[in-house]
Amino acid sequence: MTEKQWRECLGELVRDYIRSPELEYYFSIKMNKPRAAVMVKQQSLFVRHRRDCWAHVSANCPVLGVKQRILEHEYEEIIRDDFSDYGHLHLIIRQGKSVGLEPEEIINAEPLPETRATLYAWSWMTSEMSWTESLAGMTITEWCNDDRLLGDLGGGQSTRMAKKWMEDMGFTWKQIPNLQAHSQADEKHSDMFLPFLAEHATGKKEAPAIQAAKDSLAFNAMYRKGIALAQERIPL
């Protein structure tokens, strides 16, 4: 497929994902601070785990251009970008303060069963599958925050959740820096790896890469459903 065709293919998968029953359930939960704290803790595990997964993709990939692009991506996530001088985990810690969490509670968070299963799945995908499959599986999760693609469906994950925090708890953008950053930063990250899929995920490699993208979205849906289930058990 061409780069344009890859964009259309992955875009349709993400649009189906955002309309899935799991995501509808995830966004249906009315938010209060204890429920929001569940999301912050699990998101901290998600963010830190992705650093391992991207490292796996890089280690398995022989293409220098891909490795360079991953390093660029990870520099913005871990070191510095337009949204933080300390990396995106710092944004989560700042957001956690808004719902009463201390940094230690976030750093030492225990994964929900669904979170643990999802992180195991992504670890296996990125370490054991081919680099073109794992690249497709990792990059498509960035698309879940892309308002350009999902604006007519209410926006990407971060934008929609930001609206919930504002509507349900009266928060401002300043109080939700992680959601604010990812409602914007992942538009750039969505575009970063399309040229490499068009160049390298070709022939017999194309279908497995698409399947990996589908599987990764299924993992993401399970992770989000687990958060919603745990939140619903907390009274309003």
Average pLDDT over residues 175-197: 75
Return the pLDDT at 8: 96
With tokens 């849906």, the residue in question is 221
pLDDT at residue 90 in the model: 84
pLDDT computed for residue 44 by the predictor: 95
pLDDT in tens, 44-75: 999 999 999 999 999 999 999 999 999 999 88
At residue 112, φ and ψ (nearest 5 deg) are: -65, 160
pLDDT confidence of 217, banded at 50, 70, 90? Answer: very high
For the stretch 89-111, pLDDT in tens is: 888 999 999 999 999 999 999 99
When pLDDT is cut at 50, 70 and 90, the band that residue 78 belongs to is confident
Residue 179's pLDDT is: 78
Rounded to an integer, what distance in angstroms lies between the CA atom of residue 42 and that of residue 61?
29
Distances 5 to 1, 50, 59, 192, 206 between C-alpha atoms, Å? 6, 26, 27, 15, 12
Mean of pLDDT over the chain: 92
Residue 232 amino acid letter = E
CA separation for the pair 136, 156 (Å, rounded): 19
Q: Is pLDDT at 82 greater than 80 in this prediction?
A: no
The CA distances from residue 233 to 31, 38, 95, 127, 227, in Å, are 12, 11, 22, 35, 10
Q: pLDDT at residue 216 above 90?
A: yes
Q: Is the pLDDT of residue 76 over 90?
A: no
Question: Residue 124 has what pLDDT?
Answer: 98
Predicted confidence at residue 205, as pLDDT, reads: 98
pLDDT, average across residues 206-210: 98
User: Residue 85: pLDDT band by 50, 70, 90 thresholds?
Assistant: low
pLDDT grade for 86, boundaries at 50, 70 and 90: low
Instruction: Tell me the percentage of the chain whose pLDDT exceeds 90.
Output: 81
Give the tens place of pLDDT for each residue, 139-178: 999 999 999 999 999 999 999 999 999 999 999 888 888 7
Give the pLDDT score at 27. 97
Q: DSSP string of 90-146? A: HHHHHHHHHTT--HHHHHTPPPPHHHHHHHHHHHHHHHHS-HHHHHHHHHHHHHTT-
DSSP conformational letter for 155: -
